[in-house]
Amino acid sequence: MSLIRMSSPHVYKANSTANVMRLVMLAMLPGILAMTLFFGWGTLIQIAWAALLALGFEAAMLKLRKRPLGFYLGDYSAIVTAMLIAVALPPLAPWWLTGVGVFVAIVIAKHLYGGLGQNPFNPAMVAYALLLISFPVEMTRWNLPFVLTGEGWSIAPFFDTLGVIFGGAEPVFFDQFTGATPLDEIRHRGGLTTEEAWRQSEVLAQGIGAWHAVSAAWLMGGIFLLYRKVITWHAPVAMLVTLGLISSMFFGFDPDNYADPLFHLTTGATMLAAFFIITDPVSSATSNRGRLVFGACIGLLVFIIRTWGNYPDGFAFAVLLMNLAAPFIDLYTQPRSYGHSRANKGRGGNS
């Protein structure tokens, strides 16, 4: 007879991978809705197409690796990867671009490294980085937000968008309908100061609200994940604070040459990455202190890449670089274990 008195709660619900992935998908809904609202049907079509492909590749790889199909297909991890790729791509990206991305993520970055839980790199970011360096033209062709073009919904109804993504026909409205993202505008503004760029660029002057709204939606999803304890606050907060601090510092010293911190925090992939990418339990640091370091380093790298690098947004590269460093961070941030007076640091620790 057991004499151990247990305190409440007495009923647990096992938190399976499938459960976590379902919550992540739920948390992505506001962001996806906002992107659809401001950038058209493209995002939804990309998500459906990417998820379909991801399931297909996942099934094929599981079959080749002689793993149980139902068990792994039912955990939704492939679909979450597909959704992350789909929302990171330009909404009007051609079908094969998404296809190459999903193939690289699922087959190369996930299964060749040993499948779910074994991948040292975030699959969605591997795919994004590969696409960005391979197809720079397609990857930087974002459509303008609808607040800017005004009659967006009538220009790009559902079936036309479908045709642009899957059809071979050259879209007539690409020229008037696509343009640089705010990050592009700031990065490639020529000799203008930041303020002049703001005044001259349509996207910056009028369209920035769309990016703010999408970022706010991702933030909402992130708070939901925090509330449900799917992720911890450490990595996102460290990343956002670092990015905010360092951009304020540069903006404070030289506002003509550097963008303001709000701009850095609310454009590009900042919010999406903060809550959905760098919190990946597999490829990031494991301890809470490790996550603080991990997040802070990503914030720093992103600022460096955005400001002085060749690519307008640097999240994919920053995340991949820090994925590489995650085991090293883990080595030096082990928490003190029970019964030991000091934490183990590095390999030679004896306590």
Q: How far is the CB of 283 from other proteins (least distance, A)?
A: 18
Distances from the Cα of 320 to the Cα of 131, 286, 316, 346, angstroms: 14, 16, 6, 22
Q: How far is the CB of 126 from other proteins (least distance, A)?
A: 10
> Of the two residues 28 and 164, which places its CB atom closer to other proteins in the complex?
164
Burial code (b: 16+ CB inside 10 Å, e: under 16) for 47-75 equals bebbbebbbebbbebbeeeeeeeeebbeb
Q: How far is the CB of 333 from other proteins (least distance, A)?
A: 29
> Of the two residues 78 and 130, which places its CB atom closer to other proteins in the complex?
130
Beta bridge partners of 142: 179
> Of the two residues 244 and 309, which places its CB atom closer to other proteins in the complex?
309
> Of the two residues 126 and 301, which places its CB atom closer to other proteins in the complex?
126
Distances from the Cα of 37 to the Cα of 46, 146, 147, 164, angstroms: 15, 8, 10, 18
CA distance 115 to 209: 39
Q: How far is the CB of 131 from other proteins (least distance, A)?
A: 8
> Of the two residues 94 and 182, which places its CB atom closer to other proteins in the complex?
94
> Of the two residues 130 and 165, which places its CB atom closer to other proteins in the complex?
130
Q: How far is the CB of 104 from other proteins (least distance, A)?
A: 9
Length of the chain measured in residues: 351
Looking at the chain, list the stretches that DSSP marks H as alpha helix, in order from N- to C-terminal side.
Answer: 17-39, 42-64, 69-73, 77-88, 95-103, 123-134, 136-139, 146-149, 152-155, 158-166, 174-177, 182-187, 194-200, 202, 208-227, 234-253, 261-266, 270-272, 288-308, 315-332
Q: How far is the CB of 317 from other proteins (least distance, A)?
A: 12
Q: How far is the CB of 181 from other proteins (least distance, A)?
A: 21
CA distance 118 to 162: 36
> Of the two residues 18 and 112, which places its CB atom closer to other proteins in the complex?
112
Catalog residues that contact other proteins under the rule CB under 8 A. 100, 108, 130, 133-136
CA distance 198 to 217: 24
